[in-house]
Amino acid sequence: MYHVLVVEDSKIAREAVERSLDRSAEYTLTASIENAANAEIICMRNRVDLILMDICTADDESGLDAAAKIKKYYPGIRIIMMTSMPEVSFLRKAREAGCDSFWYKEYGNEDLLSVCNRTMNGEQVWPTEEPVVKIGLTDSTEFTGRELDVIRLLAQGCSYDEIAEQLCISTNTVKYHIKNLLQKTGYRTTMQLVTEVVDKRMILPKY
Amino acid sequence: MKLTLRRRRTYAKIIRNAVNSYPGGLAFAMPDGRVILSNHAMNELCSRLTGHAVVNVYSTWEELREAHPMTIPKIEGEPEEPDDSTSEKLLFRIGTSEIWQIRKTEEEFEEGRFLQLTADDITESYSLGKQIYDNHVRLTGLRERQRTLLKNILQINTDKELLQAKMRVHDDFGRCLIATGQALENPDGTDLQVLTNAWEDAILSLSATAGLSNRPEKSQKDELLKAAGMIGCRMEFLGVTPNSPLFYAAVREALTNAVRHANADCLTVQTEERNGIFRVRIAANGTAPTEPITEGSGLSNLRMRLEKDGGSLQIEYQPGVVLCAEIPVTP
């Protein structure tokens, strides 16, 4: 019997996850919470074998930060990250945080219980590809890593000079990336580009 | 001697002509302000602004100061001009379009000192500078709007989705009520199965809406109390608790450290608000540390988050560890 902690701020999603776990006698629920920052506290003196962790949780607390802390103190706990956001950096950040598996709530076609079973059997279950979002005339997969860095900093409200400083490149190189981004997407201004990218949850500046 | 005097007069005349032919204003004066030489342009400009030509540079400068000079637009963050305490400048609009700059400086020449007054027509450079300033103000406004928009965009979208869902539920129930009313008035002409299906759809639609809100069901405090209770730690809150994620981050950090390192089972959180700043003291029971604690990544991250928002963090020993934080909270 595995003891599971569910971290999910949407009531419907949380109930759906709990129903999935109910289908198997292998799992029992330790607790269901909305805020990822409280997960570490529960792990301190409760048996938790598996955490199903949403990334964007209540009060803007990040499931990725919480997962990294839990893995540091309790490396034996398996963590499956869950999200419905097509944010392009989430897969990489989840790997960096040491998570065991990753499940897209809306984009993947694998059942959550199957991901749980495979994870508890020692497998690491990761999506083979990230969700594709249409941004203007192009797809989210067409952006280079550097272009995504530039959009992310634009979305945080940075000026060209601030972006150049943070990425250790010249302001002219920032302008070059922005010119390419506008050409690819067909937008006239960076404001249109950033609004679309944030609106479609391809980049979430708070996470 | 006569020849020398004539020559000196000739030289003086040449100098006067040269100075008068200079398109800008130019005047030289003794250190006490008495004018040695002032050209036509400077006298004409001063006459327009003060009513008379330059007589004494100091008195003329005081009169110019009171002749309504223009303020010089300054872009925030732009590097200052090199500090030159002996130099002052004033800007004037002459007529409808010309902008003149008058500058007073102290100069040294062959171990002597003198005052110099210069006036330049800076209409073009002022106009370009004004354009840069206006563009800067416009861009600053745009960037501020962009920051606000980005901050709110996710919430705006969620609110939009909620509103659409509410409208859909309203429409579904409205249609069902009208159909039910008609069915009651004319029971024979109604397909009851269709009506029942319509009500079931409306109820299903309402159930789906119930989970749409992204606002937490539990307050930050309730869930933290629940988590603390699950590890056997009691928490006491004395004073008003700010509804700030930073406050709860500080309490969580103190709680995990106290339980992990001091085996605590009670945490006391005292708060006091003054001028929008919450002073928070978090103390725990348990075993006191035998030596000062080293700040790990948790405390360092908390300190960084607090300082980024204008707050602060201090660790005190009493003899247990007390975490003291100042947290600015905007209403």
The pLDDT confidence band at residue B145, using thresholds 50, 70 and 90, is confident
Asked if B205 reaches chain A (Cβ–Cβ under 8 Å), the answer is: no
Q: Looking at beta carbons, which residues of chain B come within 8 Å of A61?
A: 245
Q: Which amino acid is at B203?
A: I
Asked if B256 reaches chain A (Cβ–Cβ under 8 Å), the answer is: yes
Residue B179 pLDDT more than 80?
yes
Q: How many helices (H) and strands (E) does chain B have?
A: 8, 10
Asked if A198 reaches chain B (Cβ–Cβ under 8 Å), the answer is: yes
Asked if A33 reaches chain B (Cβ–Cβ under 8 Å), the answer is: yes
The CA–CA distances, whole Å, from B113 to A138, B37, B105, B109 equal 70, 15, 11, 6
Q: B269 with B280: CB under 8 angstroms? A: yes
Residue B213 pLDDT more than 60?
no
At residue A161, the pLDDT reads 92
Asked if B251 reaches chain A (Cβ–Cβ under 8 Å), the answer is: no
- In Å, how far from its chain's centre is CA B12? 58
Q: How near does any CA of chain B get to the CA of A195, in Å?
A: 7
- How many C-beta atoms surround the C-beta of residue A40 within 10 A? 22
Distance CA B192, CA B190 (A): 6
Q: Is A35 helix (H, G, I), strand (E, B) or coil?
A: coil
Q: Do B220 and A41 touch (CB under 8 A)?
A: no
- How many C-beta atoms surround the C-beta of residue A17 within 10 A? 25
Full 3-state SS string of B150-173 = HHHHHHHHHHHHHHHHHHHHHHHH
Q: Do B223 and A44 touch (CB under 8 A)?
A: no
**What is the largest distance, in Å, between two alpha-carbon atoms of chain B?**
137
DSSP symbols for B48-84: HHHSS--SBHHHHHHHHHTS-PBPPP--TTPPPPPP-
Q: Which residues contact B168 (CB under 8 A, 6 or more apart)?
A: B205, B209
Q: Do B157 and A59 touch (CB under 8 A)?
A: no
At residue B283, the pLDDT reads 92
Q: Is B107 helix (H, G, I), strand (E, B) or coil?
A: strand
| Consecutive H or E run containing A200 | none
Q: Say how many Å lie between the first and final Cα of chain B, rounded.
A: 87
pLDDT over 90, % of chain B: 30
At residue B208, the pLDDT reads 63
| Consecutive H or E run containing B204 | helix B192-210
DSSP symbols for A42-93: HHHHS--SEEEEESB-GGG-BHHHHHHHHHHH-TTSEEEEEES---TTHHHH
Candidates A8, A6, A73; CA nearest to A44 is A73
DSSP letter for B34, please: B
The pLDDT confidence band at residue B233, using thresholds 50, 70 and 90, is very high
Q: Looking at beta carbons, which residues of chain B come within 8 Å of A31?
A: 226-227, 230
At residue B76, the pLDDT reads 63
Q: Strand locations in chain A, DSSP E?
A: 2-7, 27-33, 50-54, 78-83, 101-104, 134-135, 138-139
Bridge partners (DSSP) listed for residue B41: none
Bridge partners (DSSP) listed for residue B112: B109
Q: B255 with B267: CB under 8 angstroms? A: yes
Handedness of CA A72, B299, A9, B260 (dihedral sign): positive
Handedness of CA B157, B163, B166, B172 (dihedral sign): negative
At residue B216, the pLDDT reads 57
The pLDDT confidence band at residue B68, using thresholds 50, 70 and 90, is confident
The CA–CA distances, whole Å, from B267 to A27, B132, B318 equal 33, 57, 14
Q: Which amino acid is at A165?
A: E
Q: B104 with B88: CB under 8 angstroms? A: yes
Candidates B260, B315, B312; CA nearest to B283 is B315
Q: Are strands B266-274 and B234-238 parallel, antiparallel or unpaired?
A: parallel
Q: Do A41 and B208 touch (CB under 8 A)?
A: no
Please indicate whether residue B272 or residue B171 has the higher confidence score (pLDDT). Answer: B272
Residues of chain A with pLDDT under 70: 107-109
At residue B215, the pLDDT reads 55
Candidates A115, A29, A56; CA nearest to A80 is A115
At residue B154, the pLDDT reads 64
Q: Do B220 and A44 touch (CB under 8 A)?
A: no
Q: A37 with A8: CB under 8 angstroms? A: no
Closest A-chain CA to B213: A10
Q: Do B146 and A194 touch (CB under 8 A)?
A: yes
At residue A34, the pLDDT reads 93
Residue A44 has its nearest CB partner, among B212, B217, B260, at B260
- In Å, how far from its chain's centre is CA B67? 34
Handedness of CA B168, B170, B175, B176 (dihedral sign): positive
At residue B77, the pLDDT reads 60
Could you tell me if residue B20 is left (phi over 0), alpha (psi between -120 and 50 degrees) or otherwise beta?
Answer: alpha
Q: Are strands B25-29 and B312-317 parallel, antiparallel or unpaired?
A: unpaired
Asked if A129 reaches chain B (Cβ–Cβ under 8 Å), the answer is: no
Closest A-chain CA to B230: A42
The pLDDT confidence band at residue B111, using thresholds 50, 70 and 90, is confident
Q: Do B231 and A198 touch (CB under 8 A)?
A: no
Q: Which residues contact A25 (CB under 8 A, 6 or more apart)?
A: A1
The pLDDT confidence band at residue B331, using thresholds 50, 70 and 90, is low
At residue B81, the pLDDT reads 60
At residue B269, the pLDDT reads 95
Candidates B18, B151, B133, B5; CA nearest to B71 is B133
Distance CA B42, CA B92 (A): 13
Q: How near does any CA of chain B get to the CA of A122, in Å?
A: 28
pTM above 0.95, yes or no: no
Residue A34 has its nearest CB partner, among B154, B218, B245, at B218
Q: How near does any CA of chain B get to the CA of A42, in Å?
A: 6
Tokens of A179: 């010119």
Residue B223 has its nearest CB partner, among A12, A15, A35, at A35
Distance CA A99, CA A74 (A): 12
Distance CA A156, CA A144 (A): 19
Q: Which amino acid is at A157?
A: G
Q: Do A11 and B217 touch (CB under 8 A)?
A: yes
Interface test with A, best of B223, B235, B308 (most A CBs within 10 A): B223
Q: How many helices (H) and strands (E) does chain A have?
A: 9, 7
